Amino acid sequence: MIDGSIQTFSLTLDAILDHAAKWHCDTEVVTAREGQDNARVTYAGLRERAKQVSAVLAGFGVTAGRRVATLAWNTQAHMEAWFGIMGMGAVCHTLNPRLTAVQLAWMLDQSGARIVIVSADLAKLALEVADHAAGVERILVIDGVAATRHPRAVVETLDDLLAAAEGEVPWGRFDETSPSGLCFTSGSTGAPKGVTYTHRSSFLHTLKMLAADVLAARVDDVILPVVPLFHANAWGLPFAAPAAGSKLVLPGRHTDGASLARLIAAEGVTVAVGVPTVFLGLCEHLDATGAALPSLKRIILGGAQTPPALMERLERQLGVTVQNSWGMTELSPVGVFSTLGDIDGRASVSGRPALGVDLMLADETGAPLADQRDQEGRLHVRGAAVIERYFGQEQPATNADGWFDTGDLARIDHKGNLMITGRAKDLIKSGGEWINPSEIEALVCALPEVSLAAVIGKADAKWSERPLLLVELRDGAEITDQALLDALRGKIASWWIPDAVVRLPAMPLAATGKIDKLSLRATYGAG
For residue 34, the SS3 value is: coil
Under 8 Å between Cβ of 390 and 334: no
Determine the Cα–Cα distance for residues 36 and 34; give it in Å rounded to an integer.
6
Backbone angles phi, psi at 494, to 5 degrees: -60, -35
Determine the Cα–Cα distance for residues 255 and 228; give it in Å rounded to an integer.
10
Active site residue 517: no
Determine the Cα–Cα distance for residues 313 and 356; give it in Å rounded to an integer.
33
Active site residue 80: no
Please tell me which residue in 330, 441, 465, 472 is annotated as part of the active site.
Answer: 330
Please tell me which residue in 124, 425, 429, 491 is annotated as part of the active site.
Answer: 429
Greatest alpha-carbon pair distance for the chain in Å reads 81
Active site residue 100: no
DSSP 124-184: HHHHHHHHH-TT--EEEEESS------SSSEEEEHHHHHHH--S-PPPS-S-TTSEEEEEE
Determine the Cα–Cα distance for residues 248 and 250; give it in Å rounded to an integer.
7
Active site residue 398: no
Closest CA to 104 of 152, 140, 72: 72
Under 8 Å between Cβ of 403 and 381: yes
Q: How far lies 457's CA from each of 87, 417, 496, 515, in Å?
A: 47, 29, 11, 15
Please tell me which residue in 63, 434, 491, 495 is annotated as part of the active site.
Answer: 434
101 contact partners, CB below 8 Å, separation of at least 6: 125, 128, 129, 131, 132
Closest CA to 57 of 29, 79, 82, 74: 82
Please tell me which residue in 185, 196, 206, 321 is annotated as part of the active site.
Answer: 185
For residue 226, the SS3 value is: coil
For residue 297, the SS3 value is: coil
The DSSP 8-state label assigned to residue 425 in this structure reads G
**Residues labelled as active-site residues:** 185, 330, 429, 434
